[in-house]
Amino acid sequence: MNQELWMAVDKYFSQAFLPSDAALDHALQASQAAGLPPHHVAPNQGKLLQLLAQIQGAKRILEIGTLGGYSTIWLARSVLPNGCVVTLEVNPQYADIATDNIDRAGLAEIVDIKVGKAIDSLRQLVKVGVEPFDVIFIDADKPSNPDYLHESLKLSRPGTVIIGDNVVREGEVANAACADPKVQGVRHFCELIALDPRLSATAIQTVGSKGYDGFAIARVLY
Ligand code: SAH
Ligand code: DHB
Ligand code: MG
């Protein structure tokens, strides 16, 4: 088992299930050309996010970590009529690239990019009392995941689905002694989810073009 094989299988599934799409292709190309880090979800993972949002019947989606807007486009295309995606990004240059990518996808009306530290934007959303979100995708700086979970719960309703990306980190999540603050953030995140009686959750390991990683999924029960 190796990365080359995982890439080949991802390519096979992407070709089989994901017809090439001008707006998504452009978003990846423009992000790369602008020097953004290659931290976007893989195409088949973007489709999974979209399917989960559709299965959920999502109208309001919150994303923490926009980058070039690649996952945002998948999510924005999944919302019900008159739905929206609020996406949070700290880096104004990334937010500009994302804005352009989202415009080109014809989704400008659906997506609201809030530029600033996600924790500040989240607290502001809580403060103004926005309607709860149906899906929340947590995919920004991993050391802050525990704080993002805390605020996300205040922006949830019974039935909200919370998805956390990158919870495996090449298996380091199972290494309690790991000194990497990203790994510790993800471990604390998982522990908080597991201990919260309001949440029903699991986590899944993935391999593919993004290496060896995984995601956690939690459903808010009450
Ligand atoms: N969801 C994107 C990838 C996000 S990568 C996709 O799959 O296409 C993580 C993003 O989180 C980066 O753009 C980074 O700038 C942003 N980020 C990091 N720290 C942040 C913070 N404190 N607040 C908001 N965004 C942050
Ligand atoms: C990192 C962040 C991501 O969201 C991702 O999908 C891959 C890597 C990172 O910060 O290392
Ligand atoms: Mg990620």
CATH number of the domain where residue 162 is located? 3.40.50.150
Q: How many domains does the chain have?
A: 1
For residue range 168-206, list pLDDT tens digits in order: 999 999 999 999 999 999 999 999 999 999 999 999 999
For the CA of 65, the nearest atom of ligand 2: 4
Q: Is 172 a pocket residue for ligand 2 (Cβ < 6 Å)?
A: no
Burial (CB < 10 A; 0-12, 13-18, 19+), residue 113, is: buried
Q: Which of 29, 39, 114, 163 to mutate to test the pocket of ligand 1 (most atoms within 8 A of CB)?
A: 39
Return all residues near 111 (Cβ < 8 A) that are at least 6 apart.
69, 72, 76, 84, 85, 86, 87, 102
For the CA of 67, the nearest atom of ligand 2: 4
Task: Name the closest ligand to CA 40.
Answer: 1
- How far does residue 67's CA lie from ligand 1's centre (Å)? 5
For residue range 41-52, list pLDDT tens digits in order: 999 999 999 999
Q: Is 212 a pocket residue for ligand 2 (Cβ < 6 Å)?
A: no
Ligand 2 atom 1, closest CA: 39
For residue range 116-168, list pLDDT tens digits in order: 999 999 999 999 999 999 999 999 999 999 999 999 999 999 999 999 999 99
Q: Which domain holds residue 162?
A: 3-220
Q: Is 139 a pocket residue for ligand 2 (Cβ < 6 Å)?
A: yes
Q: Is 39 a pocket residue for ligand 2 (Cβ < 6 Å)?
A: yes
* Residue 79: per-residue pLDDT: 98
- 152 contacts 163 by C-beta, under 8 angstroms: no
Q: Is 188 a pocket residue for ligand 2 (Cβ < 6 Å)?
A: no
Note the pTM of the prediction, 2 decimals: 0.98
